[in-house]
Amino acid sequence: MKFDWPVQIYWEDTDAGGVVYHSQYLNFMERARTEFLRSLGLMQTLLKDEFGILFVVRDIQIRFKKPAKFDDALNVNTALIKVGRSLLEFEQNIYRGDEHLIAAKVDVVCIGADSFRPVSIPEKMMRLLML
């Protein structure tokens, strides 16, 4: 499963080096994962209300290959590469046109919204992810 999500760079995303501040790319990747889940009908507000679960980031490996700048139009490509009992593994790459700016692997864990401990991904959600 692959999913593209556009991100427009605004002043708030940049720093005095003249480029996008490095931690902002993590925000862009989370926007893209949120929209990826939404595209499958998996709104996180519903997941919390219906199943009492949240998804939290457990591991990130990220390489900053080239910097983005103010007013760039980027594309965040998101691929779900593995689904575990309570784990989702994503590959996320950010592009400006053909230029590859960011390469990342992001592991996300399903936790109880109150317990903050890992729980199984609900079956109903699992079926939508496995299509």
Q: Tell me the catalytic residues.
A: 15
Torsion of CA 115, 118, 121, 122, to 10 degrees: -30
Residue of 1, 40, 42, 54 that binds its own copies (CB under 8 A) = 54
**Token pair listed for 87:** 């784990």
Is position 18 an interface residue for its own copies (rule: CB under 8 A)? yes
Is position 97 an interface residue for its own copies (rule: CB under 8 A)? no
Pair 11, 17: CB distance under 8 Å: no
**Token pair listed for 80:** 């779900």
**Token pair listed for 113:** 């919204």
Region of 68-76, 79-87, 93-101, 117-125 interacting with its own copies (CB under 8 A) = 68-76
Count CB neighbours of 101 within 10 A.
20
Region of 19-27, 75-83, 90-98, 121-129 interacting with its own copies (CB under 8 A) = 19-27
The minimum distance between CB 129 and its own copies, in angstroms, equals: 19
The minimum distance between CB 85 and its own copies, in angstroms, equals: 19
Is position 76 an interface residue for its own copies (rule: CB under 8 A)? no
Is position 100 an interface residue for its own copies (rule: CB under 8 A)? no
Pair 75, 24: CB distance under 8 Å: no
**Token pair listed for 32:** 């893209």
Count CB neighbours of 114 within 10 A.
8
Binding residues for its own copies, rule: CB under 8 A, are: 8, 10-12, 14-19, 21-24, 26-27, 30-31, 34, 43-45, 54, 56-64, 67, 69-71, 113, 116
